[in-house]
Every structure is written in C-alpha cells, then in structure tokens.
Structure 1
Amino acid sequence: PERLDLSLLTAERLAGIERRDFEKIRIGTSKHGSKVGDIFRVAGNNLLDVVFEGGSARLDRVAEAMRGGSVRVVGDAGAQAGRAMRGGTLTIEGNAGPHAGSGMRGGRLEITGNAGDHLGAPLAGELAGMNGGVLIVRGKAGAFAADRMRRGLIAVLKGSGDHAGSRMIAGTLVVAGGTGEMPGYLRRAADALAVSRDG
C-alpha cells in the first residue's frame, strides 16, 4: 500500500486554500500519487483544528513543521510525526512510528499509545535531535529515545528500549516503567535524565 506524506496538511500551509483545491493536494508517495480527496472525506472549514479520523501506520510526517493550531489523529500515525514542530499541538490517539518529534523546536506532541525507535532523535546525518517543546508518550518508546537531544522535555510513561537518552546534550528525559540496556550511553550532559530500571 502507498505511504502518505501529510506534511502539507497543517493550518499555516492550508491558509487561503479553497476546499476543492485542498482535495487536490498530492499526498501519495508512489508513482500513482494519491490526492487528499482520494483518501479522505473532507468536512468542516476550521483549518486551525485538523482531525484525521481513522489512522494508519502509513500516515507519515503528520504536522511536520507546524507552527500553530492543532492536529489530531484518531488512530495510528507513521514515521516522523511532529517532526520539526515549532508550535501548536499534535495528539495521536494510537501508536506512532519511528522518529516522532525528531527536530522539534516547540509545541506539544502527545502519543496515547506507543512510539517507535528514535523518539525525538535526529534523522541520519543530523547532529542534534529534539531542540524544544514537550513530548509525552503514554505507552512505551523504542530504542534511542532522546538520542542527541538538546532542549525540551520528553516523558515516557511505560518504559523504553535500549540506549534511552544516548548522546544527550541537554534537555530533560523522564522514563517510568523501565528501560532497556545502557540508558544515557555517551551522554554529554542533560538538565535531567530520570529512568526507572524496574518494570
């Protein structure tokens, strides 16, 4: 199945767009290139509050670089949810894929389920991970949560995988419910690194 790039579907990027034009925005990443209207039934006119009903692990880059407003996913989200957010609120009522919150600079990202590997961590080739904002995971996080984190707060409530807080530069990581191997590995500094090793 085709993966979908939802990075264009935020309040500031949709400002001034007519509904019929909104439905023509290409979001598919395959040669076919599905459009918004092919995948979603569009309702309402409030572009400051975007809701995706019926999530999927194929919904990538939700709320990327968002500066204001809110985005809510009722269900799962794919890779890079909330990447480079600067403001606003992203709520995922399900699980999120890898690199959720990567490069965040502000705003609030809340995931009610689990998060994949590299939560708040940089993409390959980048030198720094999360750089501001608040990221809350009510479930578990995968490996390398908060890798190379510089600023902000990450709270994981039901445990994380290996190398949580690895190479942290600054910022705050709180993990309850246990971690995998080597938490804080090669950490240079951190405002706070609090982990519970017991499940």
Structure 2
Amino acid sequence: MSGWRLQLRQAPPLRVDLRGITPSTLAGLDGASVEQLKVGYGNAALPLAEFFSVAPASEDALVLEGDLSRVDRIGWQMDGGRMLVDGPAGDQAGGCMRAGELLIKGCAGVLVACEMAGGTLVVEGDAGDFGASTLPGSMDGMRGGTLVVKGRVGHRFGDRMRRGTVVLHGDAGDFLGSRMVAGTIALGGQAGAHVAYGMRRGSLVFAGGRPAAGLPDTFVPAGAEAAVFWQLLSRELARHGGTFESLPRRRIERHLGDRAVAGKGELIFAG
C-alpha cells in the first residue's frame, strides 16, 4: 500500500476536526482500520468513514479530495510523509507541523501554518488571517519550515513569528509581520497598513515595491552594507520564481526597527 485517498462524501453541516489523520498515522493500517479512525465533529468523535470514502491511492501520499473548507486541522502535527489536498482547506491547516510536505490545491482558512516547526506547506490559493502566527493564548508563532502562499493572505500574517521562511506571492493584509521575533517573510505583492508593528528581529523582504501606506516612522535607514547576507538570501528566495526570481540582480534599501520596542528587525526593499 503506497497511500490512501480520502474523498469527502458531502459538505458537513458542522466543522470536522481532522487532527490525528496524517501519513504516519495511517501507515501500516488496512482499509477497515482507516475507516474507523475517530475525528472530531462538534462535541462528538465519529469514524472517518462517516465523512470520507476510503480507497487506496496510486501515489505515495495521503490524498484528500472535495470541498474541505469546513474541515479543520488538516496536517495537524504532521511529522513526515506527503499530503495532497485537492481543493480548499479549512482552518489551522498545517498547524504545529514538524516535517513532511503538505500541498493545498486551493484556498486555506485562518491560522494556516500556526506554530509550524518544520516541513514544507504550499497553498496554491489564498489564505486567511493569522497565518504563520500563534495559537490563541500562545506567545510563539511559526518556529521553522517553509510556507508558500501563491495567492493573497489576510491580516496579522506572521504575527509573533519566531523562525522559518514565509513566501507570499500575492498581497497581504494589515499588520504583516507584527511582533515578529525572527525568521524571514518575503512579499511579492502589496502590503496593507502597519507593516512590522512591534517587530523585534527578523527580515521582511518587499519584492513588489514599498507598502502603499508608507514606511513606518519607527524604522530608520540602515548604515551598514549587507551584501553577503543579501546574496545568500536573495538566491534562496529566487528559487520560488515569480517576482522573487530577479532578486539577486536587484539593489536593495534596508531600514531597521521597530525602534519603538528597541527592535533590530529589518525591512528590505528591492529596487
């Protein structure tokens, strides 16, 4: 058995919690055992077969099919293997992910890659608010790995981000990189208001021009060159294509802050 294909039978009236359904969990199980795995539904736990038809997959991956916009925590705490979502995903997709590959061929809800620690997550559509940020009540956001979103993203993306790389091909909402502690966020489109609010460390790369709302007053021009650092970072980002492909050949302008919180983060504008 190389993998499993789970096809949503019909749109559920309530939200389904798919935590615990990962490639490593399903490894070595037969079809009947997979069907009996419990998933959250409201305040109950029901067999997976109540919502999905289960069949072998021809590829070495866990494949989910259908409109999964009401199915949350896809790839939650994923620790290896490959998952493919052929359609939109619900909230907290890839949350606390530690390893492996998760591809969403559609849009994702709020809190995508929240507290992600490793692996690669690609969203081919848009993503909601608070991506790569913290779970409610937590202090640390994304902690490692790579998140790529090819569409637009919502507000507070990368809030309290601590490590890892986020590549956003489209536009971003307000407060991009707010309270950021470390890591890298690269933006190919336009950002909303209040970028890098309360930023302490990390890098925010603007490949699509300066924010329409202007540069925050609490950031100051950098006095030192960073040619070697930029050469390494730009080459890494260039492999994602699109607006980022030309980064190694472009001049940059750096600003440091957020000085309101004694921050040492940097905003990099590629000309």
* TM-score class, shorter: over 0.9
How far did 1:25 drift? Answer: 1.6
Letter in 2 for 1:143: H
Name which of 126, 132, 138 aligns with 2:144. 132
* 1:149 match: 161
How far did 1:32 drift? Answer: 5.5
Moved over 3 A (4+): 31-34, 45-48
How far did 1:31 drift? Answer: 4.5
Whichever of the two has the greater Rg, that structure is: 2
* 2:106 match: 94
| 1-structure distance, mates of 2:163, 2:43 | 38
| 2-structure distance, mates of 1:49, 1:19 | 15
How far did 1:45 drift? Answer: 6.0
Greater relative contact order structure (CA < 8 Å, 6+ sep): 1
Instruction: Give the number of the structure whose residues are more often helix, by fraction.
Output: 2
Aligned-residue CA RMSD (Å): 1.8
Please state if 1:158 is matched with 2:170. yes
How far did 1:39 drift? Answer: 1.5
| 2-structure distance, mates of 1:139, 1:148 | 22
Deviation per residue, 1:44-74 (Å, 9 max, x gap): 1679510001132111000111111111111
How far did 1:30 drift? Answer: 2.0
Deviates more, 1:2-11 or 1:111-120: 2-11
Deviation per residue, 1:52-103 (Å, 9 max, x gap): 0113211100011111111111111011000111110000000000110011
Name which of 33, 51, 57 aligns with 1:39. 51
Number of aligned positions between the proteins: 198
| 1-structure distance, mates of 2:125, 2:201 | 29
With the length of structure 2 as denominator, give the TM-score of the two structures.
0.69
Instruction: Give the number of the structure whose residues are more often strand, by fraction.
Output: 2
| 2-structure distance, mates of 1:123, 1:49 | 27
Letter in 1 for 2:204: L
| Consecutive unaligned residues in structure 1, runs of 5 or more | none
* 1:176 match: 188
Letter in 1 for 2:97: M
Please state if 1:63 is matched with 2:75. yes
Letter in 2 for 1:66: M
Say which SS state the counterpart of residue 27 (structure 1) adopts: strand
Contact 1:11 / 1:47 at 8 angstroms: preserved in 2? no
Letter in 2 for 1:106: G
Contact 2:104 / 2:122 at 8 angstroms: preserved in 1? yes
Say which SS state the counterpart of residue 42 (structure 1) adopts: strand
Q: Percent identity?
A: 38
Contact 1:15 / 1:47 at 8 angstroms: preserved in 2? no
| 1-structure distance, mates of 2:49, 2:38 | 9
